[in-house]
Structure formats: structure tokens, C-alpha cells
Amino acid sequence: MRNVGRPFTERGWRRSAGCCAAVLALVTIAAHGQDRTAQTEIVLLGTGTPAPNPDAFGPATAIVSGDRLFLVDAGVGVVRRLSAAKLSVADLTALFITHLHSDHTLGYPDVILTSWITGRAAPLEAYGPPGLRNMTDHILAAWSEDIDVRMHGGEGRPATYGVDVHEVRPGVIYDRDGVRVTAFAVQHGAWKYAYGYRFDLPDRSIVLSGDTRPSDSLVAAARGCDVLIHEAHVSDGTAPPHAPGGEAWAQYMHDFHTSDVELGALAERIRPKLLIVNHTGLLGRAATDLIAGIRRGGFSGRVVIGKDLDRY
């Protein structure tokens, strides 16, 4: 409709443009059933094991929902991988640690300090098992001189370097603005506290196993999820050089981890729409061998072997 009798001012143009944008947004929501700006994306930042593989960094997964960025685990290289994925660690909403093994936490100091250096304006929200607070206190103590110099030696950094640590138990641990995160116990060898996490978001549900042997608690927590992200190793019984546990390697893997065949059986019980395999112990075998083992376990659904910087 034309603006008869008065000029179409810049203010009027902005108002009309805003109305059109609002109408377009409503039409988009009606057509797609949700606000597309809130759609969730999974970014695999690190899919590796403790072995130093330059193509598979330490375990870390980003979940992006609208303008919120969640991170599960903080393996080596996590901040650089975030940057490669065009995500900023300074924008991190919350960090969730599955357990305190070194390969899952070597990047934790980097997350704390680099997010602060690059603009984090409030304490970092970190959730994880008992022991996380002690680890955090020691990290901050280890870098205390760095923190002091950055605050008082000319850079003028604000006193926002700290971490708000939440040592959690199984149950709902985060529930804000349509995002609910539930921790559940998993069995990871001698670890007293090891967790998986379920994210229920406006448009999809995502379950991350953490490191675990086959677990009924995981099956119960994951049923009905859209995406299951789970570890696995090839179950041919061949121990690699310098294998954990030495001669007892097979028993170690049984107690601490999940084989491809075991994962196939678990996934068949859970029946996710998508199974993403990460933290893979291929031991020189092909990814197709891992998928074949999952099929032998009974899962016939969609499965992919995750690689660093893959997006789903």
C-alpha cells in the first residue's frame, strides 16, 4: 500500500521492512513447524583417542542451538577446532565434561583461558563429575601468574577468568530456555564417576555416551533420541603396540569401552534416527570394518563414522 500524501521517510521504510520481516518469519515458522534460527547443529570437533593423530583431535563435540553454544568434553585442540568450525570459544554457553580422563580434559585449560582472553565477560559455566572443581582450582593456580599479568600488567583484562563449576549427579542438570540436559551414569572401568549426557532441544534430542562399556542406564536414557553419539572399537581382539593393559588388553577394553558388535546391539535397542560413531579405536582397520561389526550386532539404521569437523 502506497503512503499517499506524505513522503516515505527512512523511519517509515524501516517500520515497513520490520513488519514484512515479521510476517515472513511467521510464514516460515508455519511452513516448517519451528523457528529455523533455533535449529540445532552438531559439530564434531574431535573424534580421536589418546593416540596423537593429527587428523583426529581429542574428544570434543559442539552443539549449536540458535545463538547458544554447548560443548561436551574438551580434548586437546578443542579451541583451534572451534575456530576452524567458525565458532568462538568466547561465546560458549556451557561446558559439560563426561569424565576426567586426560584425553577428555587436556583442552580444558585452553577453554578457560582462551575464552577469557578473547572476550568472555562472565564466569565459564562448567558441569561435570565430582573432582571437576579440584581440577579447575589447580588449573587456575597453575596459570595464576599469567592471569595476574594479563589483568595488571598492561592488557587490562577484566576479572572474569573464573569458572562456575557444577559437580553433578545423575538427573536433570541444566534446564533453560527450551534446552534440558540430563546426566546419566555410565560404566567406564575403574572410574567412580563417568557420565553420558542427553540434550533435549526444541527440534531434536541428542545423546552422547562418553566413554563406556555397554550400559543399561545409557539405553534407558537414550531411547527415543534423534541422534546417538557413541564410542566404539573394532572387535577383532588384536592388541595394538603399547596397548593399555598390556597382556590384559582385551579385558581392559571390555571393562572400559564398547566394541562395534556391542554398539550394534545397543543401538538396535535404542533405535536412534542417526548413530554417529566417535572416539573410534580402528587399530589400523577400515571404517567399513567398524560398520560391519555394528551390523553384525543387529543395528540396521543409519550409521556414520564421525570425522573431525563433520556437521550433522
Per-domain residue ranges of the chain: 40-305
Q: For residue 249, how many other CB atoms are within 10 A of its CB?
A: 16
State the average pLDDT over residues 271-284: 87
Q: Name the pLDDT band for 248 (thresholds 50, 70, 90).
A: confident
Give per-residue pLDDT as tens, 11-63. 343 334 444 433 333 333 333 333 434 599 999 999 999 989 999 999 999 99
- Residue 162, Ramachandran bin (φ over 0: left; ψ between -120 and 50: alpha; else beta): beta
Active site residue 103: yes
Q: Name the pLDDT band for 239 (thresholds 50, 70, 90).
A: low
Give per-residue pLDDT as tens, 129-182. 999 999 999 999 999 999 999 999 999 999 999 999 999 999 999 999 999 999
Task: Look up residue 240 and give its DSSP letter.
Answer: P
Give per-residue pLDDT as tens, 199-237. 999 999 999 999 999 989 999 999 999 999 999 988 865
Residue 242 is predicted with a pLDDT of 65
The domain made up of 40-305 is a member of CATH 3.40.50.10880: no
pTM for the whole thing?
A: 0.85
268 with 299: CB under 8 angstroms? Answer: yes
Pairwise CA distance, residues 128 & 118, whole Å: 24
Catalytic residue among 55, 91, 103, 226: 103
Beta partners for residue 275, in sequence order: 228, 303
